[in-house]
């Protein structure tokens, strides 16, 4: 009984950029829909926060199918930010999302800097939205996305504008498809980002050798899943040493051990995506496993893991 | 209500070249499953497969769900090697199945190749409801023919080695006028479904098609498995896999 009490007393809560979360496991953008699709399987409230699909100013149909494909240890996707658009999201999707999930972070993207600013402005004064995640790292769109996230000057400029237009904590989501992640991280921090999250997917492709054609309708896609974990961990390690703002790590986290690795490397919280596709209740195992780890190592708060890596 | 369960394979056998029939026991899924719905499964525990694989429900017998599938890639190849007793993680039943209405006087099933998979469950259900049904089953040739126990079924083979020589859609077309107020349910390769949809449109026959696609989540969250509808992309996993054929934009070309 003593052990059970001790496990229950471990404090999983974290506060990132002023957003209070009951645990450090977040649903990654684009992998949890509008927060209702998994309701029959995943009871509400298991995640520290739910990050919405990327919302754009106008509805987006997304890319030509096929859009997903499995590769060894990974998943390629070329969804292309398919979403209902900001207006419909605010009117129809957000109220239901908020009724099920206590902490909601809205992920946004635009084709132009002006669109990002307009979107951030539309979210202003909306009760219930805890924060904004700025997607400057999607590899599956022609305009916007990683185009803004791969150049420190552009990334900083966009962050400054979005920060000015928003009235909520701003998390900037970075791409691994860059030469120097530390430079990008520093640039967005100096421009006012309250936190950074990384990594978005890596550029990838697959070819059907019978048809001699790319498998994905969009030709190329973004790679996620266990295959990208070492790359993600490296980027989190590099970025978290370059900035003072909190870092949220993601990329191939499938288990609590994976989550611990990211936190040791410097992450204050983690996001899971592909893991939810494989096992909708992965979040349960991960939060439970984080408690076990704290217990084993003698920590009373999960936040004590962050940055503990001895190098 | 979809369920996530660990189940055990109760039988697994090869029934034709590259084609397998697997069963697993789940009283809850068996009770809930409707013809046309699918399950999303993978072997339990860590292994070389990352994502689940979607399979239509071939039949339900007692508390067993049957899955009939062809080995087409890495996932189905690995799954085909799983012996009886292996534990699997299953999500299901998922998606929208066939809509069965008593307003039709005849229920016509068109199955092309592996498209037979969800149709046996449908035929069983129609029979249980005492509705008049007829199966048209087409395949490349006698060697590729799948077991399809249905009295009065009409067989078509591309090479003429058995039954009508030609496509299953042509076999159907030759006797289309014999049906009074029919509804057509079709499953098979994209060109066959497209042709079925065109024939039904010309003859003003209601037609439901079952589609397939690569998918990740299986519940409508990722938007990975879409096909083009007449208005917008529709998710095969949640809005389908069964659609009214008039909802689909048949002009598209996929690597399906």
**B40 to chain A, closest Cα gap in Å:** 10
Alpha helices in chain B (DSSP H): 27-32, 74-80, 119-128, 168-174, 190-202
A138 is catalytic: yes
Spell out which residues of chain B touch residue A274, defining contact as CB-CB under 8 Å. Answer: 50-51, 216
**Cα(B16)–Cα(A305) distance, rounded to whole angstroms?**
55
**pLDDT tier for residue A1 given thresholds of 50, 70 and 90:** very low
Nearest to A267 by CA among A229, A295, A224, A226: A229
Q: Which residues contact B34 (CB under 8 A, 6 or more apart)?
A: B93, B97, B98, B125
Note the pLDDT tens digit of each residue in A63-75: 999 999 999 999 9
Distance linking the first and last C-alpha atoms of chain B: 28
Above pLDDT 70, what percent of chain B?
98
- DSSP secondary structure string, A170-191? EEEEPPS-SS-HHHHHHHHHHT
Note the pLDDT tens digit of each residue in A88-142: 999 999 999 999 999 999 999 999 999 999 999 999 999 999 999 999 998 888 8
**pLDDT tier for residue B133 given thresholds of 50, 70 and 90:** very high
**Cα(B229)–Cα(B75) distance, rounded to whole angstroms?**
28
Note the pLDDT tens digit of each residue in B91-125: 999 999 999 999 999 999 999 999 999 999 999 99
Mean pLDDT of the residues in chain B: 95
Residues belonging to chain A with any Cβ–Cβ distance to chain B shorter than 8 Å: 30-33, 37-38, 40-41, 53, 61-62, 65-70, 72-75, 77, 79, 82, 208, 211, 213, 215, 217, 225-226, 274, 276-281
Note the pLDDT tens digit of each residue in A13-47: 999 999 999 999 999 999 999 989 999 899 889 99
Whether A3 has a pLDDT exceeding 60, the answer reads no
| Chain A residue with Cα closest to B212 | A66
Whether A160 has a pLDDT exceeding 60, the answer reads yes
Size of interface A-B (CB pairs under 8 A): 105
Q: Cα-Cα-Cα-Cα dihedral of A15, A20, A22, A27, to 10°?
A: -90
Average pLDDT over residues B77-82: 96
Alpha helices in A70-212 (DSSP H): 86-88, 94-100, 113-122, 146-149, 152-165, 181-190
pTM: 0.94
Spell out which residues of chain B touch residue A33, defining contact as CB-CB under 8 Å. Answer: 217, 219-222
**A20 to chain B, closest Cα gap in Å:** 25
What pLDDT score does A6 carry?
Answer: 79
| Chain A residue with Cα closest to B51 | A278
Above pLDDT 90, what percent of chain B?
92
Helix axes A229-242, A256-264, angle to 10 degrees: 30
Average pLDDT over residues A211-225: 96
**Cα(B217)–Cα(A119) distance, rounded to whole angstroms?**
28
Say whether B216 and A276 touch across the interface (CB within 8 A).
Answer: no
Catalytic entry in A17, A19, A50, A138: A138
**B217 to chain A, closest Cα gap in Å:** 4
**pLDDT tier for residue A146 given thresholds of 50, 70 and 90:** confident
Q: Is the ipTM of this complex over 0.90?
A: yes
**B132 to chain A, closest Cα gap in Å:** 36
| Higher pLDDT, residue B151 or B50 | B50
What pLDDT score does B253 carry?
Answer: 67
DSSP designation for B189: -
B76 touches chain A (CB under 8 A): no
**Cα(B245)–Cα(B177) distance, rounded to whole angstroms?**
20
Average pLDDT over residues B219-239: 96
Say whether A276 and B217 touch across the interface (CB within 8 A).
Answer: yes
Spell out which residues of chain B touch residue A279, defining contact as CB-CB under 8 Å. Answer: 4, 89
Average pLDDT over residues B205-232: 96
**pLDDT tier for residue A272 given thresholds of 50, 70 and 90:** very high
Spell out which residues of chain A touch residue B226, defining contact as CB-CB under 8 Å. Answer: 62, 65, 67, 82
Query: Of B50, B254, B256, which is closest to A278 when you measure between CB atoms?
Result: B50
Dihedral pair phi/psi, residue B79, rounded to 5°: -60, -35
Whether B13 has a pLDDT exceeding 70, the answer reads yes
**pLDDT tier for residue B254 given thresholds of 50, 70 and 90:** low
Query: Of A30, A69, A213, which is closest to B222 when you measure between CB atoms?
Result: A30
Query: Of A33, A72, A279, which is closest to B221 when you measure between CB atoms?
Result: A33
């Amino acid at each position: 009984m003593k052990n059970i009490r001790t496990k229950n007393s471990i404090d999983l809560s974290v506060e990132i950029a002023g957003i209070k979360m009951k645990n450090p496991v977040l649903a990654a953008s684009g992998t949890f829909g509008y927060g209702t699709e998994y309701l029959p399987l995943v009871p509400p409230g298991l995640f520290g926060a739910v990050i919405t699909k990327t919302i754009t100013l106008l509805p987006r149909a997304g890319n030509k199918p096929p859009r997903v494909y499995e590769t060894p240890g990974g998943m390629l996707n070329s969804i292309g930010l398919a979403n209902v658009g900001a207006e419909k999201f605010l009117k129809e999707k957000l109220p239901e999302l908020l009724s099920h999930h206590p902490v909601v972070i809205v992920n946004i993207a635009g084709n132009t800097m002006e669109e990002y600013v307009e979107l951030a402005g539309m979210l202003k004064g909306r009760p219930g939205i805890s924060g904004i995640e700025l997607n400057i790292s999607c590899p599956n769109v022609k305009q916007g996305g990683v185009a803004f996230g791969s150049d420190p000057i552009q990334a900083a400029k966009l962050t400054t504008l979005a920060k000015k237009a928003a009235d909520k904590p701003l998390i900037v989501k970075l791409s691994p498809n860059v030469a120097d992640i530390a430079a990008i991280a520093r640039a967005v921090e100096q421009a006012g980002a309250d936190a950074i999250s990384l990594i978005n997917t890596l550029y990838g492709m697959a070819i059907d050798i019978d048809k001699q054609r790319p498998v994905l309708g969009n030709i190329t896609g973004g790679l996620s899943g266990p295959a990208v974990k070492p790359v993600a961990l490296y980027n989190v390690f590099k970025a978290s040493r370059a900035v003072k703002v909190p870092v949220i790590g993601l990329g191939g986290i499938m288990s609590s051990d994976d989550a611990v690795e990211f936190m040791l490397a410097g992450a204050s919280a983690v996001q899971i995506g592909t893991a939810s596709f494989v096992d909708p209740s992965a979040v349960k195992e991960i939060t439970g496993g984080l408690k076990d780890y704290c217990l084993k190592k003698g920590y009373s708060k999960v936040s004590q893991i962050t940055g503990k890596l001895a190098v | 209500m979809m369920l996530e369960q660990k189940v055990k394979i109760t039988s697994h056998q090869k029934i034709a070249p590259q084609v397998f029939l697997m069963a697993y026991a789940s009283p809850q899924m068996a009770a809930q499953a409707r013809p046309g719905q699918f399950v999303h499964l993978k072997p339990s525990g860590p292994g070389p497969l990352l994502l689940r694989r979607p399979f239509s429900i071939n039949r339900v017998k007692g508390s067993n769900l049957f899955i009939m599938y062809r080995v087409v890639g890495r996932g189905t190849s690995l799954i085909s090697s799983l012996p009886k007793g292996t534990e699997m993680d299953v999500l299901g039943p998922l998606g929208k199945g066939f809509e069965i209405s008593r307003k039709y006087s005849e229920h016509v099933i068109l199955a092309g190749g592996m498209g037979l998979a969800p149709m046996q469950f449908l035929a069983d259900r129609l029979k249980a409801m005492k509705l008049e049904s007829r199966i048209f089953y087409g395949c490349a040739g006698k060697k590729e023919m799948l077991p399809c126990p249905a009295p009065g079924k009409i067989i078509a083979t591309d090479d003429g080695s058995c039954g009508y020589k030609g496509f299953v859609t042509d076999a159907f077309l030759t006797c289309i006028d014999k049906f009074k107020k029919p509804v057509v349910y079709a499953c098979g390769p994209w060109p066959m479904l497209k042709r079925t949809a065109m024939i039904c449109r010309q003859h003003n026959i209601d037609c439901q098609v079952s589609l397939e696609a690569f998918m990740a989540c299986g519940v409508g969250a990722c938007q990975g498995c879409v096909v083009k509808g007449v208005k917008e992309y529709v998710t095969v996993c949640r809005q389908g896999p069964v659609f009214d054929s008039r909802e689909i934009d048949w002009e598209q070309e996929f690597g399906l």
